[in-house]
Amino acid sequence: MEIAKQYDPKQAEQHHYERWERNGFFAPEINKDPGAPVFSIVIPPPNVTGSLHMGHALQHTIMDVMTRHKRMCGYRTLWLPGMDHAGISTQLMVSRALKREGKTRHDLGREKFVERVWQWKRESGGQITVQMRREGASVDWSRDKFTMDEDLSRVVREVFVRLYDEGWIYRGNRIVNWCPQDQTVLSDLEVEKQPQAGKLYYLQYPIKNSDERVTVATTRPETMLGDTAVAVNPKDDRYRELLGQTIMLPLTGREIPIIADEYVDPEFGTGAVKITPAHDPNDYEMGLRHNLPQVIVIDSHAKMTAGAGADFLGLDRYKARDKVVDDFAALGLLDKVVDYDFSISKCERCKTVIEPLISTQWFMKMDQLRDLALDLMSREDKPRFVPETPYKKVYTDWLENLRDWTISRQLWWGHQIPAWYTPSGETIVARSEEEAREKAGTSELTQDPDVLDTWFSSALWPFSTLGWPADTDDLRTFYPTSVLVTARDIIFLWVSRMVMMGMKFIGKEPFQDVFITGTILDAQGQRMSKTKMNGVDPVDVFDKFGVDATRLTLAQVGSTDIRWNEKQVESYRNFANKIWNAARFCLLNSEGAEVKPEILEQSAALPDRWIVSRLNKTARDLNAAINAYEFHGAVQTLYHFFWDDFCDWYIELAKADVTAEEPSAARTEARTRLLTVLEQALRLLHPFMPYITEELWQRLPGDKRLHPAYQGAEPTVMLAAYPEGAASLIDEAAESEMQAIIELVSRVRNIRSEMNIKPAERIPIVVGSPDENLRRIFSAARDQVSRLVRASKISVLERLEAPKASARAVLTGGGAEVAVPLEGLIDFEQERRRLQREQEKLQAEAAKLEAQLSNPNFVSRAPAERVNEVRERIAAIAQQSSQLQQTVENLQ
Ligand SMILES: [Zn+2]
């Protein structure tokens, strides 16, 4: 048997994926069982501009673990991949490339520009699909989708037309969030609020026919040029007299009313507020309630318009602010300016301060759609969020406060709105220009230049990818999907909208469960971000430690937030090496033996019954953990089984039989059992560590059956049955007996190391236990225990009888005690001195730490974590020291 000494992840990563994909293992059609249960996931489509980051790697790992697990359980499995056209990001990227050629998109014109984007997509888009192959993601590439593909675009138009016909999509004038830099409207979710240290300006407005003035407070004095009222709270006694009077608005010569509205907060500023309906969302609403005119004073480039007056026309909004303040001061109308902290709205992408503007946009009415989602939750408790807290509440709270969705964007890259205008100004909404001409009775049509928000097509993803509106096999088979795996920051942008659209158009929820992953933070606990340059590139981690080790690290993140720690990946790389070395040992000692599942059901010696029991219990625990989305627990279970139970105990116990020089029935049986247990362990590991398991599984000789659903497929661990764990093979008695032996061996090994007994030295052991059963177990295991601890003699007695100079230990539960007589094994005097020195070293360290703790400067200034570390270390030293003391006493 040829097998390399060292595991080489790169070599395994290179050829297995290609073979899996070529053989169609990822496609649901590989499953030939017509009655197979179904498992499906649609991938959250990454941006076509994107490359793999830790968030993707985490989500993909979890989706792949679930998909591979279900596939091995015999499910007809589909994990559907695809990409999002990412409207603004992609348009910006191509615009930047044009800029380097000294051109703008306007030089090219819309058609050429869009063609250029497609060219970019063909040449450099979708880098992430290459990286996903490296990850081992078992997605069905034959069903790969792109949101701008013709079939998906057709779905977008279909949905738009249907919603428009029902009156759920409309075009209107509304105040919107406008980015003066990107020249487009933004949805509320694309705007980020940031704290800002600014100023609050107190401006005095003269009352007509009076010497009195009303003082209003504002953070944006330049908008006063567009004021059309001053408002006070009707319950505010200070202003009761003023209601019904008017104000001569400075700098404009306009006369504006003083009105009462309950939304005015009497506590803010002076309790009187200026109202600018055209440039503030709250004022806009108030303006509608009171029929106030909308005076537009700022344009889409954030410059002042003619409406602001000749003195201001063309000024930038911040220049205009300074001028308004100067003019008020000159007129003696500037009351005061104070420092003021408030939150400012910025464009999520370019960080330009957004300008609320009134503009004509397309909107989607959300009230009825929202009710579809809320009803689904209240009636059927769907979708099920994992973890339920806090996400279920976050989701429903948001739905309850939903406003209409601005769906048009002033971009060229995206789904152009399927609305056409006739020369007489009529609006025709249709599935195609041809249909629009028919409806309009004219071919003189102009299509609306805007495109739809990228999230419009994403909201349709779970059914647009499965062939809707046609009644396809895929739609009937895979919708609703089983689970959505995503990050918490797109619950609103994406998850809720998919639920609403799925309910509206299919009448069923798009997914049963929503698993929200945790977030991987950098080592300092900060979010990884491109701008902060603190991200870790998953591909670098793959190169350094291998994909399997990285996947194991990511899988155990599950739904918690963690700080990235390379040591963790390193430890799983060591685990991969451990697997390799264990398998190598089994294979190098496999002559005459092969994998034979029946052997695990035959009666056998205690260690054999024990490992079979552990194997089956592990399988049961794993299935339960994966089905419950408890990935952290699943990884721990696997790790513990393979490293501790299988490698450290079972292989050690079986070694003598397996490596016997002479061929014998006993040797063959031992080898067969070892290979068979290993084969099942590799299957259990496979969803988490696909590469190393395939690499090793392929080398195992013997009866390696595929799951019956995959009859006739090429051999691969991917399609072998996931062990379920047979209740009949779980042997609690064997487990507790082995546990006692493991304890005994561990205690004696501890004693050997504490007492500095030479590794080659054989030692006598005395075990005392009043428990007859335990005595029987220890007596029966004499040979094995002797080998594991290098014992010269093992006495098992009812009561511990050992010389005074013995090292002793009590086994957990107190059922037995063990002693190692030390006479003749060690030089007592020398050992006492060594222990004494160790004791002194510990005491010195403790004294130093105590001094640190009694220093008030340290305690008050050091980070709490560091202070805790010191306290914990002192406690650990105290314990170590008392153990040493005990040992020294035993040497008297
Ligand atoms: Zn912007």
For residue 352, how far is its CA from the centre of ligand 1 (angstroms)?
5
For residue 407, how far is its CA from the centre of ligand 1 (angstroms)?
17
For residue 346, how far is its CA from the centre of ligand 1 (angstroms)?
8
For residue 201, how far is its CA from the centre of ligand 1 (angstroms)?
27
Q: Find which of 135-149, 592-606, 753-767, 875-889 is predicted with most confidence, using mean pLDDT.
A: 135-149
Task: Tell me the percentage of the chain whose pLDDT exceeds 90.
Answer: 74
Residue, of 457 and 879, whose pLDDT is higher: 457
What is the rounded distance in angstroms from the CA atom of residue 381 to the CA atom of residue 316?
52
Q: Pairing mode, if any, of strands 511-516 and 384-386?
A: parallel
| Average pLDDT of the chain to the nearest whole number | 93
pLDDT of 673 higher than 90 = yes
Q: Ligand 1 (ion): which residues have CB within 5 A?
A: 179, 181-182, 347, 350, 352
pLDDT of 432 higher than 70 = yes
The predicted-structure confidence for 254-284, as pLDDT tens digits, reads as follows 999 999 998 899 998 899 999 999 999 889 9
The pLDDT value given to residue 580: 97
In the chain, the N- to C-terminal Cα span, in Å, equals: 55
The predicted-structure confidence for 12-53, as pLDDT tens digits, reads as follows 998 999 999 999 999 999 999 999 999 999 999 998 888 889
What is the rounded distance in angstroms from the CA atom of residue 636 to the CA atom of residue 640?
6
For residue 19, how far is its CA from the centre of ligand 1 (angstroms)?
45
For residue 186, how far is its CA from the centre of ligand 1 (angstroms)?
8
Non-local (6+) Cβ contacts of 181 within 8 A are: 347, 350, 352
The two three-digit tokens of residue 69, written as one number: 């697990």
The pLDDT value given to residue 892: 66
pLDDT of 757 higher than 90 = no
For residue 295, how far is its CA from the centre of ligand 1 (angstroms)?
24
For residue 342, how far is its CA from the centre of ligand 1 (angstroms)?
20
**Region 239-251 average pLDDT:** 91
For residue 349, how far is its CA from the centre of ligand 1 (angstroms)?
6
For residue 88, how far is its CA from the centre of ligand 1 (angstroms)?
9
To which residue do tokens 């006369």 refer?
255
The pLDDT value given to residue 372: 96
Task: Tell me the percentage of the chain whose pLDDT exceeds 70.
Answer: 100
What is the rounded distance in angstroms from the CA atom of residue 113 to the CA atom of residue 796?
87
The amino acid at residue 856 is P
Q: Which residue in 457, 506, 459, 517 sits closest to 483, CA to CA?
A: 517
Residues 312 and 299 sit within 8 Å (Cβ to Cβ): no
The two three-digit tokens of residue 77, written as one number: 């499995």
The predicted-structure confidence for 811-848, as pLDDT tens digits, reads as follows 877 789 999 988 888 888 888 888 889 999 999 999 99
For residue 178, how far is its CA from the centre of ligand 1 (angstroms)?
8
For residue 180, how far is its CA from the centre of ligand 1 (angstroms)?
7
The predicted-structure confidence for 200-226, as pLDDT tens digits, reads as follows 999 999 999 989 999 999 999 999 999
The pLDDT value given to residue 331: 94
For residue 96, how far is its CA from the centre of ligand 1 (angstroms)?
14
For residue 109, how far is its CA from the centre of ligand 1 (angstroms)?
21
Report the DSSP beta bridge partners of residue 260.
Answer: 232
**Region 404-411 average pLDDT:** 90
Residues 266 and 235 sit within 8 Å (Cβ to Cβ): yes
For residue 353, how far is its CA from the centre of ligand 1 (angstroms)?
8
The predicted-structure confidence for 133-158, as pLDDT tens digits, reads as follows 999 999 999 999 999 999 999 999 99
What is the rounded distance in angstroms from the CA atom of residue 622 to the CA atom of residue 68?
13
What is the rounded distance in angstroms from the CA atom of residue 436 to the CA atom of residue 415?
16
pLDDT of 401 higher than 90 = no
For residue 360, how far is its CA from the centre of ligand 1 (angstroms)?
19
pLDDT of 865 higher than 80 = no
- For residue 383, say if its preceding peptide bond is cis, omega within 30 degrees of 0: yes
The predicted-structure confidence for 453-482, as pLDDT tens digits, reads as follows 999 999 999 999 999 999 999 999 999 999
What is the rounded distance in angstroms from the CA atom of residue 118 to the CA atom of residue 286?
45
